[in-house]
């Protein structure tokens, strides 16, 4: 088109005058175009070389990018796997955090309980310390009481031993009284004397009518004769070497009937008992040694009508109530009787 345009302009100017110049111009233009084409070819060739080089480089870079992309994909896959694991761990962590929160709540509750229990423990320790102090005091008191108990036990042991000895003594004395009663009964029977001997106490009852007249304290001849027969037999037993060291008292008791006033009968019974005692201490029927010994043993007692004798129907027998009784007590008999009672109580306990 460019050539055609130039040709047309040249034709308009005239084909003759301008023919030569046109050819020159055309050649010049052709040369320029050829140069341009050459330059363009060279440039294009250079560009193509460069493009090819760049393509190679780009292919290399693309291959490198692909390799890198593969590595990246691999890394992404690994990251995804790690993310999945991380998500699982996160879920586990959340669950663990929930459990931890629950455990924390439980721990706080347990701490509250622990504080409460610690407070209770402190209070218990305080109470325990107080009780331990009290226990120490009580142990001291107990030790003191134990010492006292040991001392009391020792005393009690000694007392038991003494009581055992006294018990043996009681047995001996009980046996001794029984033996005396037996000997009295035998001796009086051999002497032909009628006297009632109490099998337990050894008391002997003689009718007062034999000794005294009614309302009298003067000893009758018949009474003196009976005493002269009775006293040697009676005293031969009580004042024998076998028994006299055990005697405490020989009691002469006077008794009256229930007729009259108490004081009158008391004076009468006492006077009768004294009359019998005076006769015993002066009668030649006993030896001087016996009478001397009897002065330390014999005791007169008036009983008035306080201890009457009863009939089987429960009425008072005034005749038998008027009597004189001979009694004896063994040395320390009252004390021994009390000890015997204590021993019996101890045995029942």
Integer Cα distance of 228 and 220 in angstroms: 12
pLDDT at 343 over 80: no
Q: How confident is residue 4, by pLDDT bands cut at 50, 70 and 90?
A: low
pLDDT band, residue 170 (cuts 50/70/90): low
d(CA 264, CA 271): 11
Q: What is the pTM of this model?
A: 0.50
* pLDDT tens sequence across 200-242: 899 998 876 678 888 889 999 999 999 999 999 999 999 999 9
- At residue 182, the pLDDT reads 93
**CA 215 to each of CA 19, 225, 258: distance values in angstroms, whole numbers, following the listed order:** 229, 20, 12
Percent of the chain exceeding pLDDT 90 equals 32
pLDDT of residue 166: 65
Q: Tens digits of per-residue pLDDT, 268-277?
A: 999 999 999 9
Give the orientation angle of helix 333-348 with respect to helix 19-190, to 10 degrees.
140
Q: Which pLDDT belongs to residue 300?
A: 96
SS3 205: strand
Most confident of 111-120, 157-166, 328-337: 111-120
**Range ranked top by mean pLDDT from 141-145, 257-261, 301-305:** 301-305
pLDDT score at 159: 72
Based on the number of CB atoms within 10 Å of its own CB, is 229 exposed (0-12), middle (13-18) or buried (19 or more)? Answer: middle
What's the confidence (pLDDT) of residue 282? 94
Tokens at 309, concatenated: 């004798």
Q: Read off the pLDDT band of 346 (50, 70, 90).
A: low
| 11 and 3 Cβ atoms separated by less than 8 Å | no
pLDDT value of position 83: 80
- The pLDDT value recorded for residue 347 is 65
Give the H/E segment covering residue 197.
Answer: strand 196-197
For residue 189, pLDDT over 70 is answered with: yes
Is residue 158 scored above 90 in pLDDT?
no
Does residue 16 carry a pLDDT above 60?
Answer: no
Both tokens assigned to 126 = 């305080």
Q: Is pLDDT at 119 greater than 70 in this prediction?
A: yes
Give the confidence band of 169 by pLDDT, cuts at 50, 70, 90: low
Residue 275 token pair: 């009359």
| Contact (CB, 8 A) for 254 and 300 | yes
pLDDT given at position 275? 95
**Residue 348 pLDDT grade (very low, low, confident, very high; cuts 50, 70, 90):** low
Say what percent of the chain tops pLDDT 70.
Answer: 85
Q: Which of 58-67, 85-94, 263-272, 318-327 has the highest mean pLDDT?
A: 263-272
Which range among 83-97, 184-198, 249-263, 287-301 shows the weakest confidence by mean pLDDT? 83-97
Residue 249's pLDDT is: 94
Write down the pLDDT at residue 168: 62
């Amino acid at each position: 088109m460019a050539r055609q345009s130039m040709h047309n302009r040249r034709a308009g100017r005239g084909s003759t005058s301008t023919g030569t110049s046109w050819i020159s111009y055309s050649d010049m233009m052709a040369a320029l175009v050829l140069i341009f084409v050459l330059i363009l070819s060279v440039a294009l060739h250079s560009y193509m070389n460069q493009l090819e080089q760049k393509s190679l480089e780009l292919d290399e870079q693309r291959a490198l990018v692909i390799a890198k992309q593969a590595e990246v994909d691999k890394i992404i896959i690994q990251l995804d796997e790690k993310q999945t694991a991380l998500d699982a761990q996160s879920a586990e962590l959340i669950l663990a955090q929930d459990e931890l929160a629950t455990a924390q709540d439980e721990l706080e509750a347990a701490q509250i309980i622990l504080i409460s229990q610690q407070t209770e423990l402190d209070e218990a320790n305080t109470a325990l310390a107080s009780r331990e102090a009290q226990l120490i005091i009580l142990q001291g008191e107990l030790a003191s009481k134990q010492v006292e108990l040991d001392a009391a036990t020792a005393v009690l042991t000694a007392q038991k031993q003494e009581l055992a000895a006294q018990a043996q003594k009681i047995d001996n004395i009980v046996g001794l009284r029984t033996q005396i009663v037996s000997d009295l009964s035998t001796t009086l029977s051999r002497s032909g004397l009628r006297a009632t001997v109490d099998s337990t106490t050894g008391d002997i009852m003689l009718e007062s009518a034999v000794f005294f007249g009614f309302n009298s304290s003067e000893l009758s001849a018949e009474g003196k004769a009976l005493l002269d027969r009775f006293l040697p037999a009676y005293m031969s037993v009580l004042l024998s070497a076998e028994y006299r060291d055990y005697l405490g008292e020989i009691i002469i008791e006077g008794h009256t009937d229930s007729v009259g006033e108490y004081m009158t009968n008391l004076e009468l019974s006492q006077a009768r008992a004294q009359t019998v005692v005076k006769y015993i201490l002066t009668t030649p029927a006993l030896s001087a040694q016996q009478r001397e010994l009897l002065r330390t043993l014999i005791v007169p007692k008036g009983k008035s009508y306080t201890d009457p004798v009863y009939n089987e129907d429960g009425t008072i027998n005034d005749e038998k109530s008027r009597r004189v009784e001979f009694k004896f007590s063994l040395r320390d008999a009252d004390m021994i009787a009390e000890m015997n009672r204590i021993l019996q109580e101890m045995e029942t306990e």
